[in-house]
Amino acid sequence: MSNEWNQPSAPPPPLFLGKKERDLVKQVNDELIERVIGQTIAYYPIDIERTNFHDLYGEALAKTFLPPVRVNALIEFDGITTKYSSNIGLDKESSITIHFHKRRLTEDQDLYVREGDFVLYGDILYEIVTLSEPKQLFGQIDHKLEISAKCIRAREGLFDGS
């Protein structure tokens, strides 16, 4: 008996949530983030090629960066926390969480978010310390909606954007 059923080489596209729906989501997100909410940051990508890293620790006191890029994103300001360290004194920590719209970032701005890059939000420079992609679009594994970046305030001398 011949095999009546042939397995397709690729799974069929989603029945109800295809490209048009994904494009609509992107369109609404673009409009909402850029024209309605309007929060912006300046993104400073570190130039790995031209930065002189320490061979052992991988750190560089002087960092070379590519031209900063203005990016619209949703930014959660986590506040400023005062912290006391014994023998040192008071320290103020500030952190933000940046929710990037992934498609806007990667498709339209050709920008990729990396740990160790810096962002300017308001007049404070932050360093990206943690990245995650917490949300899929319509539960589709190939389509991530956002990149979430946890950032902490860059200490003086670490990076000044100049």
Partner 1 sequence: MALPKLSPSSQTSAVILTSTGSIATTGNGAANTSHYPFGIYADSTSALFDANFVSGASDQVAFTYKKLGGDILDVELTVGNIYASYEEAALEYSYQINIHQAKNVLSDLLGMSTGTFDHDGQMTGGDASGSSVNLSFPRFEFGYAKRVTDGVAVAAGAGGNQTMYSASFNTVALTQDYDLQTIISGASANNLDAATSGSVPFAGLVGNKKVRIERVFYRTPQSMWRFYGYYGGLNVVGNLNYYGQFSDDTTFEIIPSWHNKLQAMAYEDHMWTRLSHFSYEIHNNKLRIFPIPDGHVKSFWVQFSIDTDGWTEDSDRKHGVDGINNMNTLPFDNVPYQNINAIGKQWIRNYALALSKEVLGQVRGKFGSIPIPGESVTLNASDLLSQAKDEQSALKEELKTVLDEMTYKALAEKDAAMIAAIDTVQQEIPMLIYQG
| Rounded Cα–Cα distance for residues 41 and 152 (Å) | 14
Instruction: Provide the H-helix boundaries in 43-135.
Output: 102-103
Q: Which stretch binds partner 1 (CB under 8 A): 6-14, 18-26, 53-61, 79-87?
A: 18-26
Residue showing tokens 């719209």: 101
131: its two tokens: 């990245």
* Interacting residue with partner 1 among 99, 113, 118, 126 (CB under 8 A): 99
Across 33-50, b (16+ Cβ under 10 Å) vs e yields bbeeeebbbebbbbeeee
**Residues 46-75, interacting with partner 1 (CB under 8 A):** 67-70, 73-74
- Choose between 28 and 91: whose C-beta lies nearer to partner 1: 28
Contact positions vs partner 1 (CB under 8 A)? 21, 23-33, 35-36, 40, 42, 67-70, 73-74, 76, 97, 99-104, 107-109, 120, 135, 137, 145-148, 161-162
